[in-house]
Amino acid sequence: MNKRSNARAEQLRRVLAQEAARIMSEQGIDDFARAKRKAAERLGATDKAVLPKNVEIEAALAEHQRLFESQTHSSVLTALRRTALEAMRLLKRFEPRLVGPVLTGTASAHSEVNLHLFADHSESVALHLMEQGIPHRIAERRMRYEPGRLVSYPAVRFVAGDREIDAVIFPVDGIRQSPSSPVDGRPMRRADTAELESLLAAQA
């Protein structure tokens, strides 16, 4: 590939990342692959080699929010983090950790709150929610630890405030090893209640 072709490919990659970021922000899509496909279809990009990496899309999403949603994004993120804190306090016996866009700061007004919980028996989480009178649904989530290794875990979904909470339930020793982030493949960042309280204090 000559320099001119390479420059065009890099420019298309940036445009695709920006379009995927716009789609994620405006349509409430949190699946990078889906947003990437939509962006490629919209721009007529057929060469997979020019598709941006997830980390490039996340960076473009943060930039989009800074440029186009600066007046609203901070208040939306604060509200989501307060909801997450409320849910984590409710589930404190399961050592909850916040993960995903609400933690990293790229959540949109459409985002749900993602938590990791730790319990000897996943049924104890559902029982706890029942005892609190909180309607919930049982689900399953597949988490990646390294290429080729996916592990399925139970999850519960419920509403806190006006937000959907998706909480994956790991064994107690699962707190020692975080699954891979869908963004960069590194161990997923997790924040406990104290760290989330600090983040909220810094936003105040």
Nearest to 179 by CA among 198, 171, 77, 139: 171
Give 85's Cβ-side CA count (13 Å radius): 15
Give the three-state DSSP class for 183: coil
Query: What pLDDT, in 10s, does the model give residues 59-68?
Result: 999 898 888 7
Using CA atoms, how far residue 146 sits from 4, 52, 114, 178, in Å, is 36, 21, 20, 11
E strand intervals along the chain: 97-99, 113-118, 136-146, 149-160, 163-170
State the Cα–Cα distance between residues 57 and 110, nearest whole angstrom. 17
Query: What pLDDT, in 10s, does the model give residues 77-112?
Result: 999 999 999 999 999 999 999 999 999 999 988 889
Extract the tokens encoding 115.
């938590």
Please answer whether residues 86 and 197 qualify as being in contact, where contact means their C-beta atoms are separated by less than 8 angstroms.
no
What local confidence, expressed as pLDDT, does residue 2 receive? Answer: 58
Position 4 confidence tier, pLDDT thresholds 50, 70, 90:
low
Nearest to 108 by CA among 75, 156, 85, 86: 75
Please answer whether residues 113 and 163 qualify as being in contact, where contact means their C-beta atoms are separated by less than 8 angstroms.
yes
Position 162 confidence tier, pLDDT thresholds 50, 70, 90:
confident
β partners of residue 144: 150
- Kindly report the pTM of this predicted structure: 0.86
Tell me: pLDDT of 72 over 90. Answer: no
Please answer whether residues 165 and 159 qualify as being in contact, where contact means their C-beta atoms are separated by less than 8 angstroms.
yes
Please answer whether residues 170 and 179 qualify as being in contact, where contact means their C-beta atoms are separated by less than 8 angstroms.
no
Q: Which residue has the tokens 């405006």?
A: 26
State the Cα–Cα distance between residues 82 and 162, nearest whole angstrom. 12
DSSP 8-state class, residue 167: E
Extract the tokens encoding 56.
């490039």
